[in-house]
Amino acid sequence: MIFFKTARRQFPSDLYLLDEVLSWFNQIHESFIPAKVWSQCQLALAEGFTNAVRHAHKDYSAEVPIEIEVTILAEYLELRIWDRGLPLDLPTKLQQMQENTNERAEGGRGLIILFKMADTLTYSRTEDDRNCLLFVKRFAEEE
């Protein structure tokens, strides 16, 4: 099967818009995507978007946009989220979080959730000084 669909949209840096972000994402849904995988992609989008608002754009006004692009192919989905925050080394950050998070911790689980669900997770600096979070999820069950 050859399948390709992509959608891109900008949202202001506002936590109140998560509902709208998820609604937009659900309009892109394709019936061949397994329910569990779609649910994980929704969660990845929520974590990625709120992380950008809360951390990368912490000191920015809400007008600074967060750009989201979703690409659905026959076998996997790619989610890209661009922010305009400072650079960050994701592997180092993830390692710190995994060492520090205990059962009683009240926060800091977003990145770990993203990492656990992803087949690929990267956070890279772009040429125009933005960061791009890339989350790739395959539709086939693992193993």
Binding site for other proteins (CB under 8 A): 15-16, 18-19, 22, 36, 39-40, 42-43, 46-47, 50, 54, 103-107, 109-110, 112-113, 116-117
Question: Smaller CB distance to other proteins: residue 46 or 70?
Answer: 46
Q: CA triplet 100, 106, 110: central angle to 5 degrees?
A: 75
6 or 39, CB closer to other proteins? 39
Q: For other proteins, which is the closer residue by CB, 21 or 72?
A: 21
Least CB distance to other proteins at residue 121 (A): 13
Separation of alpha carbons 52 and 66, rounded Å: 7
Q: How far is the CB of 50 from other proteins (least distance, A)?
A: 6
Q: Whose Cβ is closer to other proteins: residue 22's or residue 134's?
A: 22
